[in-house]
Structure formats: C-alpha cells, structure tokens
Amino acid sequence: MGRFSRGAIYMILASFFFSLMSVLVKGSGANLPPQELVLARSLVVFSITAVMLRRKRLRLWGSHQKLLILRGVFGFLGLSAFFYTLTVLPITDSVTLNYSSPLFTALLAQFFLKESSSGRQWGFYLLAFLGILLIIRPGFSLQTVPALIGLGGAFFAGLAYIAVRQLRHSDHPLTIVLYFQAVAILLSLPWVIPNFVMPRGWQWLMLLGMGIATQAAQVFLTKSLHEDTAARATNVSYIGVVFSTIWGIVFFFEIPDWRTVLGAAITVFAIVRIGAGGEQTEVKDKDEG
C-alpha cells in the first residue's frame, strides 16, 4: 500500500473537520455549558445521519446493537472530556491530548484485535507518554487536572475506535455514527436540562456549523477505520494538531509555549512511528474478517 493510503486520506480529512469543530466549540464554550454543546452537536449529527441512512435504505438499528451502544458510551465519555478541556485549556493543549487517542488505540488493539507490537514500538509508546507529560505539566500547573481529564477522554476515544474496528464487519459506517449520537443525546439530557442556557443569534449558527463539521469528520473517521489496521489508520490524525494550532493563533491569539510545542512534537513523532510499525499487522487483521 502506498504512503498515502485511502485510510490515511480519510483520516486527514477527518482531522481537518474535527479541527473546525474544535474552533466552534471553543468559541461557543465562552457562553454555553460544555455538555449543552455535546447535546447540540449530537442532535445535528443524528438528524443528518438519519436522513442519509433513509436515503441509502440501510438498516437503522444495525446488526450488533450491544457493541454499537458500547461504542456510543465510550464516544460520549471521550467527547464530553474533550469539550470540557476545550473550554478551559488552550486549543493546542486540548487537541494534542485528544489526539493522543491513537496511542491508546494501538495499545488496546493488542488485547482486543490481536494486533501485535514490536519492542521498538513499545519504546515509542513510552516516548509518546513523555511528550504528553510535558503538555500536562504534572504537579506544577493549574491546568494539570483539566489535562488529566483530557487524557482520560483520549483513553475512552481509543476504546471507541477499537469498537469501530470490530463493527466494520457487521455494520455500515453511518449506522455506527447514528448510534454514537443517539447514545450521546440520551446521556447528555440529565446534565443539560437543569442547567440549560438558551443560545442567542450567531450561537445557533455556530452550533449548526459544529454539527455539520462533525458529521463530515465522523464519516471520514469511520471510513478510515474500515480501511486500515487500528494503529496505522489513526496515526496520521496528528495533522489535526497542526490545524488546531493555526486556528488557536488566528482566532484566539493563543501562542503555544515551548513545553506544549516540544510535547506535541514528541507525541506526534512517537505516534507516527507507532503507526509506521503497524504495517506488519495488516494481513493478520484482514484475515480476521
């Protein structure tokens, strides 16, 4: 397979649209609670996905309901943590932590998908965590707790990606996306109802844009994970850190400090090397189908 496989191209597109979503979330988060943003995003994406499923005449309920629901729960936890960090951390820090999910995907894939790693890859796992530590700044920063929440969100996102990889044999990408949004809507409501804030004017447009960008990102993400091994399909998502850093500078005047830049560079390098080592797992993974 060439350097830029179909799965890699899908992931780059997903990362671009996710970065646009991050900008809209951060901009809206100054006035609206994070969980309300999760609900709004999920409602828009659910509506668009349901229409697409109907037009394609695909099964609305899917084939593997329990795993679809579990993927939705993992996705909801990861998304909630990510949206929270976007409202309290610089966008580069938040997105870098969120994009550490391929590290957890690669680690978890060894247990759930039987995708093995070499000793060299384990060294890159350690290097990636060292990069993350530079961003988290444990013990001497007010952003340590939010950063740890963001890291926890990345872990749950990794679990969600593993579930998507398992579902690729039984369910259409749109069905997987629909279940994610349905679960997120149901789990968000108990948090949103007591603390609801009515959006005003331009905020409605931002919420709609957030949902549209997410829809595009989710579809490309799911297609990417249908095409390649879990580790390799997600490693190119590092480009999202670059996109988000640019948006942070342009829209929020956030200039990353040297720890963030160095930590992001180390983490991205390590994850890319982990993904490069995933080439050897492709045949084994496809044989499982």
Task: Tell me: pLDDT of 130 over 70.
Answer: yes
- Counting the structural domains of the chain, the total is 1
Which carries the bigger pLDDT value, residue 238 or residue 9? 9
Nearest C-alpha neighbor of 203 from the set 6, 29, 9, 39? 29
Rounded mean pLDDT of 107-117? Answer: 79
For the ranges 177-191, 223-237, 266-280, the maximum mean pLDDT occurs at 177-191
**150 CB neighbour count, 10 Å cutoff:** 28
Q: Among positive and negative, which fits the CA dihedral 87, 74, 12, 214?
A: negative
> How many whole angstroms separate alpha carbon 108 and alpha carbon 129?
15
In angstroms, rounded to a whole number, what is the distance separating the alpha carbons of residues 146 and 85?
6
Can you give the residue range of the structural domain that contains 146? 6-287
What's the CA gap between 48 and 29, in Å, rounded?
Answer: 23
Nearest C-alpha neighbor of 216 from the set 228, 206, 224: 224
pLDDT at 152 over 90: yes
Q: Residue 1 domain-assigned?
A: no
Instruction: For residue 238, tell me if it sits in a domain.
Output: yes
- Does 186 fall in a domain? yes
Using one digit for the tens of pLDDT, what is the confidence trace for 164-203? 888 988 898 889 989 999 999 999 999 999 999 999 999 9
Q: Label residue 104 by pLDDT band (50, 70, 90).
A: confident
Residues 113, 165 contacting (CB under 8 angstroms):
yes
What is the C-alpha to C-alpha distance for residues 185 and 74, in angstroms, rounded to an integer?
Answer: 13
Q: How far apart are CA 88 and CA 147, in angstroms?
A: 9
pLDDT at 134 over 70: yes
Average pLDDT over residues 251-261: 88
**Cα(first)–Cα(last) distance of the chain, in Å?**
19
* Torsion (CA) 15, 272, 179, 289 in degrees, nearest 10: 130
Is residue 44 included in any domain, yes or no? yes
Q: What is the pTM of this model?
A: 0.83
User: Residue 287: is its pLDDT beyond 50?
Assistant: no
Neighbours of 225 (CB within 10 A): 27
Q: Would 200 be classed as within a structural domain?
A: yes
DSSP 233: H
CB 81 within 8 A of CB 152: yes
